[in-house]
C-alpha cells in the first residue's frame, strides 16, 4: 500500500547542453511505494532526468530531491541509498550469476555475514534458481535483465531507478520482469521506470508523459484516458484500406491507424461525429458496418496529448 510520503520531489528541473534543452522545467512528485512510469520516445529527456536524480549529472536549473536529499549537493548520499539499472547495466559477462551477485553485494555494502542469505533470496525472487553457475554472457536477454535488476536491488534500496529495463526483451520475459517490480513495490520500494513500450505503461500506478524534454501530463492510466479532451472513433468499413485513406482525408480527424480490419482515429473536441463519418464513407461507396466511440489506448492518449501541445 502506498503512503503519502514523497520519495522523489522535482521542481522546475532543467538540463541544458549548450543551446539544447534536454529537460525543460519539469515538476512532479513520486510517493513511497509507487511505480511511476516515465513514458516517451527516445530523445524525450527520460534518461537525462534519471541521471540528474541519481546525482550523475548536475541540473542546469531547478531542484530534485530523492529521499529528502538534494540530487546534486548530496549526490554521494543518494547513490548509497538507491538502486540504478541503466540501459546497459554493467554485468560482468565472464562471471557466473552467483559471482555477479556476490560482487555487487560487496559493492553495495551488504554485510559479509548477510550476503549468502540475501543472494539466496534474490536468486529465487529473480527466477534464477538453477542458473547460479551459468556464465552471465551466455544468458538469454530476459534472464540477463533479471540478473541486472537483482544486482541493482540486492542492498534493498528504498528507491530504484530503471532506465528502459526491458528494451529488446521478448513479451513473456517483460511480463516476468514486471512481476518482480510489483513484488518490490508491494514491500514499499519506490520504482521510477522509463519506457517507450505502451503496453508496459499499463502496469504503472501513474504515468508521466514526456516529449522533447517537456512533461506533458501525469496521472494514473485511467485518469489520463478520462482526461483526453476528444474521443477515439473505431470504424469498420469495406474495403479497410480505402476506409483508412478516406478517414485520413476527413477534416476534424487525426492520427488514423488500421487495427486489423478496423480503423481507429482521434476526433478532437468539436471534431467529426460518428454519424457524419459513416455518412461520408457511404457517400464514397464504402460498405459501413459501424462507426462508434471506443475507449482510448494509452498510445492514442499520448499521441493526442503531443498533438495538442
Q: How confident is the model at residue 307 (pLDDT cuts 50, 70, 90)?
A: confident
| Strand 6-17 versus strand 61-66 pairing type | antiparallel
How many CA atoms within 13 Å lie on the side-chain side of 238?
2
- Please name which of 16, 28, 164, 38 lies closest in space to residue 89, comparing C-alpha atoms: 164
Cα distance between residue 232 and residue 253, in whole Å: 9
pTM equals: 0.89
For 212, counting Cβ atoms within 10 Å of its Cβ (0-12 exposed, 13-18 middle, 19+ buried), the class is middle
Tell me the per-residue pLDDT of 36-82, one tens digit each, with 9 for 90 and over. 999 998 899 999 999 999 999 999 999 999 999 999 999 999 999 99
| The predicted structure's pLDDT at residue 169 | 79
| The predicted structure's pLDDT at residue 145 | 87
What's the whole-number average pLDDT of the chain? 92
Q: Has residue 186 got a pLDDT over 80?
A: yes
Q: Has residue 115 got a pLDDT over 90?
A: yes
Cα distance between residue 24 and residue 275, in whole Å: 42
Average pLDDT rounded to a whole number, residues 111-129: 93
The grid coordinates listed for 11 are 521542481
Tell me the per-residue pLDDT of 19-42, one tens digit each, with 9 for 90 and over. 999 999 999 999 999 999 999 988
The grid coordinates listed for 251 are 477534416
Give SS3 for 108.
Answer: coil
Tell me the per-residue pLDDT of 76-108, one tens digit each, with 9 for 90 and over. 999 999 999 987 767 899 999 999 999 999 999
| The predicted structure's pLDDT at residue 3 | 40
Residues 6+ apart with CB under 8 A from 120: none
The length of the chain is: 309
Tell me the per-residue pLDDT of 291-301, one tens digit each, with 9 for 90 and over. 999 999 999 99
| The predicted structure's pLDDT at residue 308 | 66
Q: How confident is the model at residue 173 (pLDDT cuts 50, 70, 90)?
A: confident
Owner of C-alpha cell 505503461: 201
Sheet with 190-195, strands from edge to edge, namely 82-85, 159-163, 190-195, 35-39, 206-211, 214-219
Q: What percent of the residues of the chain are helix, what percent strand, and what percent coil, each to the nearest 5? A: 35, 30, 35
| Cα torsion 241, 247, 248, 250: sign | positive
Tell me the per-residue pLDDT of 224-280, one tens digit each, with 9 for 90 and over. 999 998 999 999 999 999 999 999 999 989 889 999 999 999 999 987 899 999 999
Structural domains of the chain sorted by starting position, each given as residue range(s) with its CATH number in brackets? 6-225 (3.40.50.300), 228-308 (3.30.70.100)
Q: Has residue 2 got a pLDDT over 60?
A: no
Amino acid at each position: 500500500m502506498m503512503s503519502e510520503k514523497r520519495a522523489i520531489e522535482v521542481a522546475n528541473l532543467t538540463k541544458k547542453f549548450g543551446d539544447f534543452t534536454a529537460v525543460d522545467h519539469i515538476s512532479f512528485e513520486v510517493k513511497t511505494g509507487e511505480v511511476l512510469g516515465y513514458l516517451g520516445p527516445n530523445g524525450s529527456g527520460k534518461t537525462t532526468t534519471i541521471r540528474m536524480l541519481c546525482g550523475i549529472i548536475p541540473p542546469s536549473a531547478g531542484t530534485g530531491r530523492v529521499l529528502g536529499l538534494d540530487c546534486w549537493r548530496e549526490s554521494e548520499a543518494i547513490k548509497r541509498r538507491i538502486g540504478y539499472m541503466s540501459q546497459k547495466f554493467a554485468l560482468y559477462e565472464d562471471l557466473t550469476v552467483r559471482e555477479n551477485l556476490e560482487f555487487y553485494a560487496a559493492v553495495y555494502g551488504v554485510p559479509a555475514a548477510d550476503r549468502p542469505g540475501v543472494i539466496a533470496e534474490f536468486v529465487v525472487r529473480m527466477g534464477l534458481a538453477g542458473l547460479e553457475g551459468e556464465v552471465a554472457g551466455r544468458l538469454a536477454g530476459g534472464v540477463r535483465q533479471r540478473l541486472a535488476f537483482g544486482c541493482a536491488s540486492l542492498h534493498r534500496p528504498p528507491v530504484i531507478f530503471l532506465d528502459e529495463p526491458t528494451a529488446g526483451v521478448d513479451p513473456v520475459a517483460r511480463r516476468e520482469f514486471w512481476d518482480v517490480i510489483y513484488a518490490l513495490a508491494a514491500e514499499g520500494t519506490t520504482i521510477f521506470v522509463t519506457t517507450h513500450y505502451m503496453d508496459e505503461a499499463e502496469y504503472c500506478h501513474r504515468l508521466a508523459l514526456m516529449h522533447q524534454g517537456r512533461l506533458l501530463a501525469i496521472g494514473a492510466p485511467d485518469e489520463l484516458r478520462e482526461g483526453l479532451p476528444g474521443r477515439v472513433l473505431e470504424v469498420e468499413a469495406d474495403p479497410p484500406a480505402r476506409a483508412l485513406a478516406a478517414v485520413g482525408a476527413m477534416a476534424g480527424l487525426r492520427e488514423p491507424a488500421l487495427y486489423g480490419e478496423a480503423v481507429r482515429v482521434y476526433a478532437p473536441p468539436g471534431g467529426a461525429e460518428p454519424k457524419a463519418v459513416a455518412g461520408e464513407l457511404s457517400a464514397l461507396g464504402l460498405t459501413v458496418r459501424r462507426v462508434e466511440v471506443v475507449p482510448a489506448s494509452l498510445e492514442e492518449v499520448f499521441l493526442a496529448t503531443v498533438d495538442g501541445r
